[in-house]
Amino acid sequence: MIADFFSALFTDITAFFDKPLGFGGPLLTGHIVIWAIIIGFALAGIISLYTRSVIGTFVSYLLKNKAHTPETARALSDAGIKNPLTKASLSKNGTLSRLVKTQDVDLDAQNRRYYIEEKDAFRADRLYARGGANPVTLVFALVLLIIAAVIIYTALPELIQMAKNFTSMVKPESNIA
């Protein structure tokens, strides 16, 4: 089923650009690299937006309420957060485990009280600040990435041919005395 999906996707991409991509050639490898980079950037943008807007909500809550010591620690239930991914990011090896500390390890994640030490507050604010990461900028960036991929995809065959022509013109002469 997955193989059929990727086969259909490959056929659709080939048909869309109306250029056969034969197996084993430099164009196939180049195009795969281009699309892999574009997809990687897109996924990174989506993950960044999700991290800042969903998981970062609890960090912002802790910073806003000045939870910098075990005495001023706050629980997830205080913030009204029930997202399982936020709970997972607060686990021992989770995303937030380096910044967000807990005082009572024996309770479940919803009732544990968390705080951010004063020395880590600025770093936490910078990492999880909402400025710059919003759905509009993500969509804009994705559109620009797709446009760039289409331009590169269509220009790559000409660039490769131009490089071949250049190297054939600059071949060193073999009858040097």
* 102 contacts 69 by C-beta, under 8 angstroms: no
Eight-class DSSP state of 116: E
pLDDT of residue 24: 47
Burial of 156 (0-12, 13-18, 19+ CB in 10 A): middle
CA distances from 72 to 61, 68, 121 (A): 12, 6, 14
Report d(CA 167, CA 117) in Å as an integer: 60
Choice among 15-19, 67-71, 142-146 with the minimum mean pLDDT: 15-19
Residue 163 pLDDT greater than 60, yes or no: yes
Q: Residue 54 has which token pair?
A: 């969903």
pLDDT in tens, 27-77: 555 667 777 888 888 888 888 888 887 778 888 888 888 888 888 888 877
pTM summary value: 0.58
pLDDT of residue 110: 67
pLDDT in tens, 86-131: 777 877 777 777 888 887 766 766 678 888 888 888 888 888 776 6
Closest CA to 100 of 85, 89, 116, 111: 116
Provide the phi-psi class of 77: left if phi over 0, else alpha when psi is between -120 and 50, else beta: alpha
Residue 18 pLDDT greater than 70, yes or no: no
